[in-house]
Structure 1
Amino acid sequence: MRLAAPRIPPLADAEMDADQKELVAPMAATGRVLNIFRTLARAPKAARAFLAWGNYVLSRRNDLPPRQRELVILRVGFLCKSGYEWTQHVEIGLRDGLTPPEIARIKSGASAPDWSQDDRLLLQAADELHHDKFISDATWAGLRGSFTEKQCMDLVFTVGQYTQVSMILNTFGVPLDPGQVLDPDLKGY
């Protein structure tokens, strides 16, 4: 984690006003409000807009299959050195079909051995978007050979969303949730 203490601390339940409680109520009903949402609750109007778009990216309306979506999210989280993002999405990635060895290889990106051609293209696209804010013609052509136009759009939407999320998490200093452990490769960031 980049900061030793949050710049914008997550709200405790007792600190929330009625609007903030209403915002997190659906999460609280599941038994757990994550620190990212406790932090964003400090700006409830922004949080509602953020959640609407984020829910699209994580929903079945996003045409990237969940495993591929999580592959891309984890790559973005690692590239952005977002310990919180990485930690949350390792659990989600495992649920959505990524294996522990694949998750370890995500850190090395498309050049790591044993990726399928499709996975390699997704990782390459995430890297290009991160570094150049653009997918090269060669990578785009490869993607279009395997993915629909909508899936390619959703790939860009996903990388953009999780770049923003990583910026928020890193800059605000959102701490890991109770019971989580920071990946050693992200210590000091």
Structure 2
Amino acid sequence: MRLPAPRIAPLSDEQLPPAAREVLDALPEYARGFNIFRTQAHNPEALAAFLAWGNYVLSARNSLTPRQRELAILRTGWNCKAGYEWAQHVVIGLNSGIAESEIPAIKAGPDALHWDPLEAAILRACDELGQNHHIADATWAELAPLGDTGRVDLIYTVGQYTQVSMLLNSCGVQLDPGLRRDPDLG
């Protein structure tokens, strides 16, 4: 975690404006109390837009497989040193086909001996997008099995979770109950 306390406190049920309550009520019950959403509830209109786009990235409409998507999200969260994002998506990733033994390999990156060529290319693309805001020609070619739609969905996913990580890190969003803090992220 970048900050030991929130800069913008998540809103309690009593503090929620009606528009924010309406947006949160549309979420699955287990997610309504997440600090990421309660922090953004200060601006209900922005929260609604954020959720609409985020729901695309996390849905089956995203052409990446759940495993590919979570590899990209976790590598992006790692690169951004976003403790909240990392903790949430380790749980989601484990439910999306990523093995516990693969978590350290995500931290190590695309050159870890663990990955098949496409997975290594996905992780490399995450690194390149984060560092250069551009996927190099060689990596683009390695991503060919994703097709054009998959390549664009990968860019969307990395962009979304870079934005999310900036929000989490800058606002000081703290872990939700039950999440494990990664000691490598402070």
TM-score range, shorter chain: over 0.9
Report the alpha carbon displacement of residue 32 of structure 1 after superposing the two structures with TM. Answer: 4.3
Report the alpha carbon displacement of residue 165 of structure 1 after superposing the two structures with TM. Answer: 0.3
Q: Alignment partner of 1:92: what SS?
A: helix
Where structure 2 has 5 or more consecutive residues not aligned to the other structure, the ranges are none
- CA separation of 1:31/1:112 partners in 2, compared to 1, >3 Å: closer, same or farther? closer
**Alignment: residue pair count:** 186
Contact 2:82 2:165 (8 Å CA) reproduced: yes
1:155 aligns with 2:165: no
Q: Deviations over 1:33-62 (max 9, x none)?
A: 211000011111111111111010000110
Map 1:114-133 → 2, pairs under 5 A: 114-133=114-133
Runs of 4+, deviation exceeding 6 Å: none
- CA separation of 1:173/1:31 partners in 2, compared to 1, >3 Å: closer, same or farther? closer
Could you say what the CA RMSD is over the residues aligned between the two structures, in angstroms? 1.1
Contact 2:11 2:39 (8 Å CA) reproduced: yes
Partner of 1:22: 22
Partner of 1:166: 165
Partner of 2:75: 75
Contact 2:24 2:32 (8 Å CA) reproduced: no
1:58 aligns with 2:49: no
Matched residue type, 1:164: Q
Q: Deviations over 1:128-163 (max 9, x none)?
A: 00000000011101111x211100110000000000
Contact 1:67 1:97 (8 Å CA) reproduced: yes
- CA separation of 1:15/1:29 partners in 2, compared to 1, >3 Å: closer, same or farther? same
Tell me the TM-score normalised to structure 2 length.
0.97
- CA separation of 1:147/1:43 partners in 2, compared to 1, >3 Å: closer, same or farther? same
Contact 1:73 1:159 (8 Å CA) reproduced: yes
- CA separation of 1:116/1:32 partners in 2, compared to 1, >3 Å: closer, same or farther? same
Report the alpha carbon displacement of residue 31 of structure 1 after superposing the two structures with TM. Answer: 6.8
Contact 1:11 1:38 (8 Å CA) reproduced: yes
What is the CA–CA distance in structure 1 between the aligned matches of 2:50 and 2:32, rounded to whole Å? Answer: 19
% identity of equivalent residues? 54
Contact 2:82 2:168 (8 Å CA) reproduced: yes
- CA separation of 1:25/1:167 partners in 2, compared to 1, >3 Å: closer, same or farther? same
Q: Alignment partner of 2:68: what SS?
A: helix
